[in-house]
Structure 1
Amino acid sequence: MLPPAVRALARNVPTVAPVPNKGLIAVTGSQAAEFLNGVVSTHVSPSNPHHSFSAFLHAQGRVLHDIFLYSQPSATGKPGYIIEYDNRTVEDVPSILPMLQRYVLRAKVKLRDVSSEYDVWAAWGSEKEKLWETERHWKSVRSGVFEPVWDAEGPSPWGSEPGVLRDRRAVGLGERLLVNKGDRPRAASTHDIGSESDYILHRILRGVPEGVTDIIPGHSFPMESNMDLMGGLDFRKGCYVGQELTVRTYHTGMVRKRIFPVMLHQHPRRESDTELQIHDVILSPHLDIRTHLQPATDGTPRPRPRGTGKLLTSEKGVGLALLRMEHVDAVMKGDAQLEIESSDGEHKTNYGVTPWRPSWWPVTEPESELY
Structure 2
Amino acid sequence: MPPPILRPLLRCVPTIAPVPNRSAMSISGSQAGIFLNGMLSSAVHEPMKGPLYSSFLHAQGRILYDVFLYTRTEANGKRGYVLEYDARPSEAKLLFPMLKRYVLRAKVKIRDVTDEYDVWAAWGNPNHAQWDTPRKWKWAASGVAEPVWDPEVWPWGQQDESILDRRATGMGRRFLVKKGERPQEAADHDIRTSDDYTLHRILHGVPEGREDMPAMQAFPMDSNLDFMGGVDFRKGCYVGQELTVRTYYTGVIRKRILPVIIHKPGQVLEETVTPNPTAPNFPVDLDIRPVLNRAPDDPRPAPRPRGYGKLLSSRQGVGLALLRLEHVDAVQKGDLRLEFDVAKGESKDTWGVSHWWPDWWPQRSEADKKEARG
Q: Normalised by the size of structure 1, how large is the TM-score?
A: 0.94
Show CA shifts across 1:66-103 (max 9, x none): 0000011222222310000001111x321110010011
RMSD over aligned Cα, in angstroms? 1.7
1:309 Cα deviation (Å)? 0.2
**Following the alignment from structure 1 to structure 2, what is the Cα–Cα distance between the partners of residues 75 and 270?**
57
State how 1:282-297 maps to structure 2 within 5 Å: 282-295=281-294
Please say if 1:309 is aligned against 2:309.
yes
Read off the aligned partner of 1:275 and give its amino acid letter.
Answer: T
- Amino acid of the structure 2 residue aligned with 1:228: D
Match of 2:133 in 1: 134
Work out the CA distance in 2 between the residues paired with 1:75 and 1:43: 26
Look up the equivalent residue of 2:106 and give its one-letter code. A
* Residue matched to 1:50: 50
1:177–1:185 contact (8 Å) kept in structure 2: no
Q: Which residue of 1 aligns with 2:235?
A: 237
3-state SS, counterpart of residue 174 of structure 2: strand
* 2: CA distance, partners of 1:269 / 1:136: 34
Q: What's the CA shift for 1:277? A: 2.7
1:275 aligns with 2:272: yes
Shift of residue 274 of structure 1? 4.1
- State the 1:278 CA deviation: 4.0
CA-to-partner distance for each residue in 1:100-141, whole Å, 9 max, x for gaps?
Answer: 001100100100000000000000000110111122100001
Q: Which amino acid aligns with 1:23?
A: S
1:147-179 CA-partner distances (Å, limit 9, x unpaired): 00001122x110110122100000000000100
Secondary structure of the corresponding residue to residue 55 of structure 2: strand
After superposition, residues 109-258 of structure 1 pair within 5 angstroms as 109-154=108-153, 156-258=154-256
Distance, in Å, in 2 between the alignment partners of 1:364 and 1:289 is: 26
Q: Determine the C-alpha separation between the residues in 1 that align with 2:67 and 2:348.
A: 37
Which amino acid in 2 is paired with 1:101? K
Distance in 2 between residues matched to 1:270 and 1:136, nearest whole Å = 31
What whole-Å deviation, never above 9, does each CA across 1:34-61 have from its counterpart, x for those lacking one?
1100000000011133000000001001
Partner of 2:371: none
1:369 counterpart residue number: none
TM-score, reference length from structure 2: 0.94
Over 3 Å counting, the alpha-carbon distance change for 1:358 and 1:270 in structure 2 is closer
SS in 2 for 1:80: strand
| Kept in 2: contact 1:26–1:113 (CA 8 A) | yes
* Equivalent residue letter for 2:272: E
Deviations 1:232-282 (A, max 9, x none): 0000000000000000000000001000000000112399x9421344231
SS of structure 2 residue aligned to 1:72? strand
Q: Which residue of 1 aligns with 2:99?
A: 100
Q: Which runs of 5+ in 1 are unaligned?
A: 367-371
* Number of equivalenced pairs: 363
> SS at 2:237's partner residue?
coil
CA distance in 1, matches of 2:323, 2:190: 34
Distance 2:115 2:285 in 1: 31
**Partner Cα separation in structure 1 for residue 61 and residue 68 of structure 2:** 19
Within 2, Cα distance between the matches of 1:9 and 1:203?
12
Matches of 2:228 and 2:314 in 1, distance apart? 20
For 2:31, the equivalent position in structure 1 comes to 31
Q: Is the 8 A contact 1:266 1:277 kept in 2?
A: no
Counterpart-to-counterpart distance in 2, 1:139 and 1:26: 33
- % identical aligned pairs: 55
Moved more, 192-201 or 325-334: 325-334
What SS is found at the alignment partner of 1:66? strand
The Cα of 1:63 is off from its aligned counterpart by 0.3
Letter in 1 for 2:259: P
* Structure-2 residue corresponding to 1:86: 86
Shift of 1:300: 4.5
Rounded to whole Å, the distance in 1 between the matches of 2:275 and 2:188 is 32
State the distance in 2 between where 1:27 and 1:270 align.
Answer: 49
Match for 1:179: what amino acid?
V
Partner amino acid, structure 2, of 1:56: F
Partner of 2:5: 5
